[in-house]
Structure 1
Amino acid sequence: MALTRRASHSGSWYTKNGSELSKQLEGWLNAADLSHGPARAIIAPHAGYSYCGSCAGFAYRQISPAVVRKIFILGPSHHVRLSGCALSSASTYQTPLYDLHIDQQVCKELEETGHFEWMDMSTDEDEHSIEMHLPFIAKVMESFKDSFTIIPILVGSLSPEREAMYGRILAPYMADPQNLFIISSDFCHWGQRFRYTYYDRTCGAIHRSIQNLDKMGMDIIETQNPATFTEYLKKYGNTICGRHPIGVLLQAIQSVKSNTNGQRMNLKFLKYAQSSQCNNMNDSSVSYASASLVLE
């Protein structure tokens, strides 16, 4: 039976009016330069569009829609405890622009590895980390809307060993130039409400300390070294909510490199933003960053 996942966060996290949404997305995409494409993978935020839409535009601008046939979306699980990864039981995801179709064949292949479970519909619809990317995907791909499928993957709290395993499973898909990977992550969640108040006073204002901390993480991600990223997270505890999807990406990159005699890849951050500037210990903010991976 075909199941449709409704756009459950439209109307609150972004507008449900299709033409208004299309205009907004176009504005953000047009404001960004195509400077690091065609992207084989991107990292982009998943907050309400009023906070992170313009930042996300920089990642989505790097996509070359004419070549893309399958889009893997890896989002962290915010509401359910998962020790592995889960696939969507839906066949279609609704967006205010048009519906996106899930690749049943790829889902079957992933299930057959024995390392994926299935999300039920309420888990799927509660989770925003994947949904917030769907309108951007629909907009970027609108001239090719009948020629691509999506593979949504909900990523749980993975050990480094499990990140490596999922990286190996996904590497053959990443090696295919017709596939695109979207990694859903916000960066530092700072403030007492997030129970995270790391502050390096040598940086000056709190928001500068946060930016410095995020930049350190972004620089490490650009080196594509999963072990160094794990060490960084252990040392600073930075509340990067998509750290496990990012870990899987870095492991998949390592795997592709080792299977292709050192295929050169360049991962670059293009934009950074904060929801607000923290100046005292009662403030809070969430950081956003957009990156693109290209093969050289």
Structure 2
Amino acid sequence: MSVRKASHAGTWYSGSKVQLNEQISLWLKNPIIKTEATKAIISPHAGYTYSGSTAAYAFKNLIPSKIKRIFILGPSHHVHLDICALSPATFYETPFYNLKIDQEIYEKLRKSGKFKIFNIKQDEDEHSLEMQLPYIAKIMEGFQNNFTIIPIIVGSLGYQKEIEYGKYLSQFFLDEGCVFVISSDFCHWGHRFSYTYYDQSHGDIYQSIEHIDKMGMNIIESMDPQHFNKYLKEYGNTICGRHPIAVLLQILKNVRQDQQCSIKFLRYTQSNKSKTFHDSSVSYAAAIATTEL
């Protein structure tokens, strides 16, 4: 048994089971459940102090009793990839309990030839997947022996590869009991992120940031992957999970011939209301994707 350690516990979120349980339980009290047909969510992956309350709006809409497998797609922040990667571990550690990686599905992914395997250090250095794990463990605590996870690190894919991965993963998307968690923050604004787009017609800098983020969110809600790709090229918005989001849009494009699909954003926040070019901020958003026959 190989266990990937919760390497960001105690820094990005509390390593104390009691404290973490209190925080997440409090955040989950606020959102209202919008649907029982949620097949995917978009959730932020910053430190919980900044984005934990926003993530609750997405996770609240997952129905634990219906879930058997959870695909988790997050971007690679430290290792350059032009494909997707899998974990070498068999379990992911959280302060609550260990999450079991679905080796049956992993074997199918490995045999496809579309995925490389991270080493354990690369896996533990990456936070985009780990930040989803405590929430997953918390909402699934009553069913912890009844589900598995399928963590996938998504590289800097070109548009054609986003199409290919979307088509390949769509075979799992419609499986009963399968949900997808897409890990992404939104605009990273400021000199330290090398992104200072500012349209003064929308007010202060933070209002301009919100405008460009919500432009992207509206396009995501339209489920048009080509339009999303064009938007990213035109505005350069630093949505770090843009490739996992694009793969989700391609998945939905493939399944829409069989099911009605929709994406709805439920929450949007910023780490700081930037007003000068000395400021910086990161944006966070929570969304759900639903399907109906």
Q: TM-score range by the shorter chain?
A: over 0.9
CA contact (8 A) 1:39 1:293 kept: yes
- Distance in 2 of aligned mates of 1:36 and 1:149: 23
Aligned to 1:44: 43
Gaps of 5+ in 1: none
Aligned to 2:104: 105
Aligned residues: 292
Matched, 1:257 2:256: yes
Aligned to 1:228: 227
- Distance in 1 of aligned mates of 2:3 and 2:85: 17
Matched, 1:283 2:258: no
Alpha-carbon shift at residue 207 of structure 1 (Å): 0.2
Which stretch has the larger CA shift, 108-117 or 32-41? 32-41
Aligned to 1:266: 262
**What SS is found at the alignment partner of 2:181?**
strand
CA contact (8 A) 1:22 1:139 kept: yes
Aligned to 2:92: 93
Alpha-carbon shift at residue 172 of structure 1 (Å): 1.1
**What SS is found at the alignment partner of 1:78?**
coil
Q: How does 1:13-24 map to 2 (within 5 A)?
A: 13-24=12-23
Which stretch has the larger CA shift, 29-38 or 4-13? 29-38
Alpha-carbon shift at residue 97 of structure 1 (Å): 0.5
**What SS is found at the alignment partner of 1:253?**
helix
Alpha-carbon shift at residue 113 of structure 1 (Å): 1.1
Alpha-carbon shift at residue 36 of structure 1 (Å): 3.5
Alpha-carbon shift at residue 144 of structure 1 (Å): 0.3
1:225-275: CA deviations, max 9, x gaps?
Answer: 1000000000000000000000000001111123x2xx1111100000000
- Distance in 2 of aligned mates of 1:136 and 1:294: 20
Alpha-carbon shift at residue 196 of structure 1 (Å): 0.2
- Distance in 1 of aligned mates of 2:64 and 2:150: 16
One-letter amino acid of the counterpart of residue 283, structure 1:
D
Alpha-carbon shift at residue 37 of structure 1 (Å): 3.6
- Distance in 2 of aligned mates of 1:255 and 1:35: 24
**What SS is found at the alignment partner of 1:168?**
helix
Aligned to 1:54: 53
Percent identity over paired residues: 51
Matched, 1:130 2:129: yes
TM-score with structure 2 length normalisation? Answer: 0.99
Alpha-carbon shift at residue 38 of structure 1 (Å): 3.3
CA contact (8 A) 1:70 1:150 kept: yes
Alpha-carbon shift at residue 215 of structure 1 (Å): 0.3
TM-score with structure 1 length normalisation? Answer: 0.98
- Distance in 2 of aligned mates of 1:248 and 1:112: 20
One-letter amino acid of the counterpart of residue 270, structure 2:
Q
Structure 1 residue runs of 4+, over 6 Å off?
A: none
One-letter amino acid of the counterpart of residue 49, structure 1:
Y
CA contact (8 A) 1:40 1:177 kept: no
**What SS is found at the alignment partner of 2:112?**
coil
- Distance in 2 of aligned mates of 1:28 and 1:112: 40
RMSD: 0.7
Aligned to 2:142: 143
Aligned to 1:64: 63
Aligned to 2:82: 83
**What SS is found at the alignment partner of 1:66?**
helix
Alpha-carbon shift at residue 9 of structure 1 (Å): 0.1
1:115-137: CA deviations, max 9, x gaps?
Answer: 11101100000000000000000
